[in-house]
Structures are given as C-alpha cells and as structure tokens.
C-alpha cells in the first residue's frame, strides 16, 4: 500500500504560470514532509520541507501548503520557468527521520 | 568531495550474476540510506544505517539483497543472483543525522543504474 499518493502524474504549464502538485497521506504519525526535485540522470535534491505545526511555508517561488485535518499537502511553483522542468517528488517521514516514503512523482514541463 | 558519490554509475549484469554497488556519503554524515527507484517511480526505501549499525532493513526485497557499512562511512549494497526485476536505479542518501532539523535532511547521490539482461 502506497503511503504517500501524488498527483498529477504529469503537468504542462506555460512559462510564468503556477504549477500545483498534490500529495495525500494516511499515517498520522508522519511528522516531516519534504519535496524533492529530480533532473534526468541525477539524484533527488531537497527543494523545501514542512512540519505539520505550520500550514504554509514559502521559499522564493516555491510554497508548500499543508492541511493537517485533510492529510494533504501541495507544492506551488509560482512564475514557473523552463528551468523548473523536472520530476518532483513529495515524501513523508516520522519524527525519527529513519525512513522516508516517497510519492510516485510528477513530471513537470514548463513551455517557453 | 562535496556530495554523495556512487559507483559504478551504470552496471549491466547477466541474470544470475552478483553485483556490488558502492556509496561514498558526505564526510561526517551519520545516517545512510539506500533506495530503489524503478523507471518512472519514486524512490523506495531499502535500508538505513546509523554509523555502522543497520537499524532498518525492512525494505530489502529478498534475502538476495545485502547491505553493509563496516566502518560507518562507505557502504556497499550487494545483490546476489540478480534477476530481471532487480533492474532499477539504486540511490544512496546521507544525512548528518544528529541534533535537530535541518541536520536530518537527506543528500542523494546520482544513483547506479542496474540493468539485468
């Protein structure tokens, strides 16, 4: 059973638009929710992360929105750029950070 | 080196061969993780080390998979009698793993792409 469900599988956005990727989880013990960006041939790189004690975290053009009651969180990429074209993964971990569960990924294509 | 390195980057094995994949974590990082990433999928947890101790190996798919980190730095993932379903990218990640966030943030290597023919 997949611990973290991610959608959509792929996303096409025009340059300057907003990209939105959604994730949902069931395990209420999850305490840390990172987002990773992966380019072809590279390992995932941490983009931004949130703990459940806040509902939103913003870093530059990237924002995580977190809804604890709905057990959902999402990544918003404002003013999307062609350089943002990559695969994005959400993930979740419990408080001890010893095991991370990843979503299935969203392939983002930003059209110039 | 500045980041996590893995070798080889690509490995082709005939079905039934044994393979060994190496991970060099960031110096001083206590925690080390191995993941398996199938084509078009997210990384799936295989095993976790804290220093030389393997604290969680619940993700290893079968007893053909074995991981070690004997001196608490370099780690090796060994797959015996490889099968076609073992074809995937094997990712290694490390984290400082002490104290509080952000020391638990994971840094990934580029992965080893294993193809079993």
Report the distance separating Cα B24 and Cα B36, nearest Å: 17
Report the distance separating Cα A59 and Cα A49, nearest Å: 10
The answer to whether A22 and A9 have CB atoms below 8 angstroms apart is no
Q: Which of B71, B12, B60 is nearest to B35 (CA)?
A: B60
> What average pLDDT is seen over chain A?
94
Nearest to B43 among A32, A42, A102 (CB): A102
Distance from the Cα of B75 to chain A's closest Cα (Å) equals 17
Sequence-distant (≥ 6) Cβ neighbours of residue B67 within 8 angstroms: B34, B46, B47, B49, B54, B57, B60, B75, B76, B77, B78
pLDDT for B104: 78
Report the distance separating Cα B112 and Cα B77, nearest Å: 11
Is 60 exceeded by the pLDDT of residue B1?
A: no
Q: How far is CA B20 from CA A19, B12, B17, in A?
A: 40, 12, 10
Q: Which of B109, B104, B108, B111 is nearest to B50 (CA)?
A: B104
pLDDT digits (tens, 9 = 90+) for B8-66: 999 999 999 999 999 999 999 999 999 999 998 999 999 999 999 999 999 999 999 99
Interface size A-B, in CB pairs within 8 Å, comes to: 59
Report the distance separating Cα B55 and Cα A49, nearest Å: 24
Q: Which residues of B touch A (CB under 8 A)?
A: 4, 31, 33, 35, 40-45, 48, 50, 55-56, 58-59, 91, 93, 95, 97, 101-102, 104-111
Distance from the Cα of B40 to chain A's closest Cα (Å) equals 8
Q: B42, A6: Cβ pair inside 8 Å?
A: yes
pLDDT for A98: 80
Q: B42, A89: Cβ pair inside 8 Å?
A: yes
Is 70 exceeded by the pLDDT of residue B100?
A: no
Percent of chain A with pLDDT strictly greater than 90: 88
Report the distance separating Cα A4 and Cα A74, nearest Å: 12
Lowest-pLDDT range of A51-60, A103-112, B2-11, B97-106: B97-106
Which residues of chain A lie closer than 8 angstroms to B110, CB-CB? 41-43
Q: B43, A44: Cβ pair inside 8 Å?
A: yes
Which residues of chain B lie closer than 8 angstroms to A45, CB-CB? 108
In a 10 Å sphere around its CB, with 0-12 CB exposed, 13-18 middle and 19+ buried, how is residue B110 labelled?
Answer: middle
DSSP string, B65-111: EEEE-TTSS-EEEEESS--GGG-EEEEEEEE--SSSTTTT--EE---
Q: By CA distance, what is B92's nearest residue in A? A: A43
Provide the pairing of β-strand B19-24 with B75-79. Answer: antiparallel
Provide the pairing of β-strand A106-111 with A10-14. Answer: parallel
Distance from the Cα of B81 to chain A's closest Cα (Å) equals 26
């Amino acid at each position: 059973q997949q611990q973290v469900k991610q959608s959509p599988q792929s996303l096409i956005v025009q340059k300057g638009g907003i990209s939105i990727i959604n994730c949902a989880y069931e395990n209420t013990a999850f305490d840390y929710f990172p987002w990773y960006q992966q380019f072809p041939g590279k390992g995932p790189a941490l983009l931004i992360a949130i703990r459940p004690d806040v509902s939103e975290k913003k870093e530059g053009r990237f924002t995580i929105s977190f809804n604890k009651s709905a057990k959902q969180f999402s990544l918003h990429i404002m003013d999307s750029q062609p350089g943002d074209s990559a695969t994005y993964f959400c993930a979740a971990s419990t408080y001890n950070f010893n095991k991370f569960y990843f979503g299935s990924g969203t392939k983002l294509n930003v059209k110039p | 080196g500045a980041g996590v390195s893995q070798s080889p980057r690509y490995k082709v094995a005939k079905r039934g061969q044994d393979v060994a994949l190496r991970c060099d974590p960031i110096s001083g990082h206590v925690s080390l993780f191995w993941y398996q990433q199938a084509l078009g999928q997210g990384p799936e947890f295989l095993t976790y080390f804290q220093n030389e101790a393997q604290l969680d190996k619940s993700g290893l798919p079968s007893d053909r998979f074995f991981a070690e980190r004997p001196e608490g730095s370099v780690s090796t993932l060994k797959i015996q009698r490889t099968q076609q379903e073992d074809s995937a990218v094997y990712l290694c990640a490390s984290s400082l793993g002490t104290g509080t966030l952000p020391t638990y943030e994971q840094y990934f290597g580029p992965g080893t792409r294993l193809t079993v023919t």
